[in-house]
Copies of this chain bind each other. A is one copy, B any other.
């Protein structure tokens, strides 16, 4: 059997069930292999060792990529067509050490520092929220400070490590205490009553953090809100970064997180905010944390996380591709 004859009617496996439509330009089609000249770098961090409650976020980077790369590169509302200029590169996943938070954090910081130094904006797919300490540290080491931070979260994440354990509840406390960021450059959006202790609220107040409860987002005009937030994070800073904890959403819309939150943000509202904020020239990236696919049997939370990532990319497209 030296030469095998051609076989009819076969296609590569795992294609979509209908023949792909050449007119569909998807996010996957924007990916270039060389980071040089790219505008935005996608970076995965499959790590969730620091989650206090139910874990699973280490499976998120793969899951969000699958959903995101299938989405269209076009936003019919704003008219932004990313195919007209957004250069996207996927740098892969950080090589984490599941049993060593400090080493993992060091690696994450090294990656973000280099990426930022090269002028790329980052779209980081986590991973647990403890990683935002390392992510923001890397951005600051690459860009300089002060850096503004917009944190979408039902929680302050201003806990102190207890008995030596860094958790997903501690990243912003560490950043503040180590002087990497200042409270007056930090906005926390989507905070929920009953989910945060007074002690940490007082920490936030003491540091001068701008707090915007979920209830304010529900009733506030999004343009006004955007302006308020941008003012805080751009005043006197070299740029800002968005840190997005998926538990900021209403529990029914994002059940696949460690601690779902009744009363959280509705998808349409948060998606619009992210797009507007990412459209600011000073936005240096976003991390998208705490999506837990094993806790998300029907894929709803992953699809929503992909939509948040997509809104970030559209925002970057609006700003004129950096």
Q: Which residues of A contact B (CB under 8 A)?
A: 1-5, 7-15, 17-19, 21, 23-25, 34-37, 43-44, 46, 48-50, 52-56, 58-59, 61-62, 65, 71-78, 81, 83, 90-101, 107-108, 110-111, 114-115, 118-119, 159, 162-167, 191-201, 211, 213-216, 218, 250-253, 255, 260, 262-264, 266-269, 271-272, 294-295, 297-298, 300, 303-304, 307, 310, 314
Report Cα–Cα, A152/B61, bound state, in Å: 33
User: Closest B-chain residue to A25, C-beta based?
Assistant: B197
Q: A95, B250: Cβ atoms under 8 Å?
A: no
Residues of B within 8 A of A114 (CB): 5, 7-8
B294 and A4 within 8 A (CB)? no
Instruction: Give which listed residue, B95, B193, B266, contacts A74 with CB less than 8 A.
Output: B193
Pick 27 A–B contacts, CB within 8 A, sort by A. A1-B118, A4-B118, A8-B111, A9-B94, A10-B94, A10-B95, A13-B62, A13-B92, A14-B61, A14-B93, A17-B58, A17-B98, A72-B194, A72-B195, A74-B201, A75-B194, A76-B191, A76-B201, A77-B191, A77-B213, A77-B216, A97-B163, A98-B165, A251-B267, A251-B300, A252-B252, A263-B267
Taking A13-B90, A58-B17, A304-B251 as contacts, is the C-beta distance between A310 and B194 under 8 angstroms? yes
A17 proximity list for chain B (CB < 8 A): 46, 52-53, 58-59, 96, 98
Evaluate whether A91 and B314 lie within 8 angstroms (CB atoms) in the complex, with A193-B75, A198-B83 already known.
no
Q: In the bound complex, how far is the Cα of B307 from the Cα of A300, in angstroms?
A: 23
The 8 Å CB contact of A166, one of B58, B99, B215, is B99
In order of increasing CB-CB distance, the 6 nearest A-B pairs are A23-B199, A75-B193, A74-B198, A4-B36, A9-B107, A262-B304
A8 to B, closest residue via Cβ: B110
Does A213 contact B76, Cβ atoms closer than 8 Å? Answer: yes
Q: Within 8 Å CB of A310, what residues of B?
A: 193-194
Asked if A49 and B49 make an inter-chain contact with CB atoms under 8 angstroms apart, the answer reads: yes
The docked-state distance in angstroms from the alpha carbon of A13 to that of B198 is 27
- A34 and B4 form a contact (CB under 8 A): yes
Contact assessment for B253 and A167 in the assembled complex, using a CB-CB cutoff below 8 Å: no
Chain B residues near A266 (CB-CB < 8 A)? 250, 266
From the candidates B35, B197, B199, B252, name the one contacting A300 in the complex (CB within 8 A).
B252
Determine the residue in chain B with the shortest Cβ distance to A115: B7
Q: Which residue of B lies closest to A214 (CB)?
A: B268
Q: Name the B residues within 8 Å of A193 (CB-CB).
A: 72, 74-78, 310, 314
Partner of A1, one of B36, B54, B162, B297: B36
Complex interface: chain B residues within 8 A of A12 (CB): 92-93
* Chain B residues, CB < 8 A from A76: 191-193, 196, 201, 211, 213
CB-CB under 8 A from A1, the residues of chain B are 36-37, 118-119
